[in-house]
């Protein structure tokens, strides 16, 4: 029995070359060409040595270093005469976040960066902005706004713009203090000597109390014994309209009362309630539907003679552009703690003026936010009314005062306020959270 012969690797290569030579020769190809083909055959490659995670990170870091080395160095906002030395955030009851920008000149700027219920998240965003801010001259405010906003590849949204808003307020505060003038003087103001403000009131007793305190404008919400359904019944609409009529009767026709739907009503129910409220002439209907429903809001605006207002959950000039272009509202309510601060809200006010729309800054927050709003109001021509929830009693020295429905514009440098550190001592820290609301009938999630 013959055992089959196994060819060696060398003999296999010779046999294959002989076969190639025969085949190529038959095709009319020269032996030298055949040899070149054989030499070009792929050779077995040595196994690739796997790189460690450390090697990968080192390569990334080196590439990053090379890219950054080509970046132009900052030339604006860099100097030794005035520079930011420390960034400090303070959680303040009931649900606020205060910001202090400290400088080497002893000037401290105040701001209020906050998303209600997300104070810790915004504080972290401020922490992430800190490396940029430290060592910078605070005075070129618009330049810093652009850098903070545009150096983030993912731009906008409530967290980033709220963080920038607070920093922006503090930068303007520093600049005004450094120059010895109120912020509105740096914005071309004053355009008025006092600012109309409104108070919150949901009952007859409360609205009469606020009127006695000097307010002539108020804001309430729809009377609800439970969260509204998608399509409400006649009893719900009638009760809400009747409660508003009672508030109107309590303060008279000379006072203004706005009503905030809070974006919590469906468009079906919002249309019904607006029609029922028309005889009582609210100053405006705020957020009749969610602000993301711009086309629906525009349809609602065309269907009523009552002014529509929106803006507390709209951010930057880019967000308000659609509202104006689609004529979804004639009263814009940018929040100076959310929409981009004084710098951005001044631009939004200019855009609104071109559409003959008014500005009524949103502010359910603290006295720093109120101060920023007063300076904006004192520097634009199309201001309507300023929301407030605190005049600063127990938070700032020399709290604001309301007389005949108005607050005098600040006259001290910067934002014109100073924190009362002693009064603040028992108001430090909080863990305020947003409400969790559910339908009482079926347990589904509802807007509050």
Give which of 435, 422, 421 is closest to 98, Cα–Cα. Answer: 421
CA distance 279 to 443: 35
Catalytic, 262? Answer yes
Contact indicator for 135, 145 with CB cutoff of 8 Å: no
CA distance 123 to 120: 5
CA distance 184 to 201: 30
Give which of 214, 264, 247 is closest to 388, Cα–Cα. Answer: 214
CA distance 369 to 165: 10
Catalytic residue among 102, 262, 338, 430: 262
Looking up tokens 């009931």, which residue turns up? 94
Looking up tokens 């019944």, which residue turns up? 233
Alpha carbon of 264 to those of 119, 238, 281, 295: distances in Å? 23, 18, 21, 17
CA distance 125 to 72: 25
CA distance 117 to 106: 32
Catalytic, 151? Answer no
Give which of 366, 359, 287 is closest to 114, Cα–Cα. Answer: 366
Catalytic residue among 144, 338, 362, 375: 362
CA distance 255 to 245: 13
DSSP class of residue 417 equals -
- In the Cβ-directed half-sphere of 412, how many Cα atoms lie within 13 Å? 11
Give which of 340, 379, 338, 337 is closest to 359, Cα–Cα. Answer: 379
Give which of 444, 424, 445, 443 is closest to 92, Cα–Cα. Answer: 424
Looking up tokens 């529509």, which residue turns up? 308
Catalytic residue annotation: 262, 362
């Amino acid at each position: 029995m013959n055992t089959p012969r196994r060819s060696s690797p060398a003999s296999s290569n010779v046999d294959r070359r002989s076969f190639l030579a025969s085949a190529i020769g038959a095709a009319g190809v020269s032996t030298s060409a055949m040899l070149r083909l054989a030499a070009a055959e792929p050779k077995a490659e040595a196994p690739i040595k796997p790189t460690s995670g450390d090697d990968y990170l080192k390569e990334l870091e080196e590439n990053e270093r090379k890219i950054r080395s080509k970046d132009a160095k900052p030339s604006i906002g860099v100097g030794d005469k005035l520079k930011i030395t420390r960034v400090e955030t303070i959680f303040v009851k009931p649900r606020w976040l205060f910001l202090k920008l400290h400088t080497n000149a002893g000037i401290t700027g105040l701001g209020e960066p906050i998303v209600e219920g997300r104070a810790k998240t915004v504080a972290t965003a401020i922490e992430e902005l800190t490396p940029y801010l430290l060592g910078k001259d605070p005075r070129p405010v618009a330049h810093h706004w652009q850098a903070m906003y545009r150096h983030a590849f993912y731009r906008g949204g409530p967290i980033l713009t709220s963080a920038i808003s607070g920093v922006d307020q503090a930068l303007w505060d520093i600049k005004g203090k450094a120059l010895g003038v109120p912020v509105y003087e740096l914005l071309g103001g004053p355009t008025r000597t006092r600012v109309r403000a409104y108070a919150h009131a949901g009952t007859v007793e409360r609205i009469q109390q606020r009127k006695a305190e000097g307010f002539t404008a108020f804001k309430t919400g729809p009377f609800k014994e439970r969260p509204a359904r998608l399509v409400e019944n006649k009893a719900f609409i009638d009760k809400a309209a009747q409660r508003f009529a009672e508030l109107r009767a309590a303060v008279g026709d000379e006072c203004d009362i706005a009503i905030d739907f809070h974006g919590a009503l469906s468009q079906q129910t919002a249309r019904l309630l607006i029609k029922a409220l028309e005889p009582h002439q609210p100053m405006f209907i705020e957020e009749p539907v969610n602000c993301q429903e711009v086309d629906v809001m525009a349809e609602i605006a065309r269907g009523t003679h009552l002014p529509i207002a929106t803006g507390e959950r709209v951010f930057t000039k880019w967000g308000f552009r659609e509202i104006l272009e689609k004529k979804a509202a004639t009263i814009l309510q940018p929040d100076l703690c959310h929409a981009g601060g004084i710098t951005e809200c001044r631009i939004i006010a200019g855009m609104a003026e071109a559409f003959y729309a008014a500005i009524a800054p949103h502010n359910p927050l603290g006295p720093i936010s109120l101060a920023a709003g007063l300076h904006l109001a004192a520097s634009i021509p199309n201001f309507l009314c300023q929301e407030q929830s605190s005049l600063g009693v127990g938070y700032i020295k020399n709290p604001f005062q309301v007389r005949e429905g108005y607050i005098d514009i600040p006259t001290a440098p910067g934002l014109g306020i100073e924190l009362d550190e002693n009064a603040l001592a028992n108001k430090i820290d909080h863990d305020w959270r947003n409400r969790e609301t559910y339908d009482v009938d079926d347990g589904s999630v509802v807007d509050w």
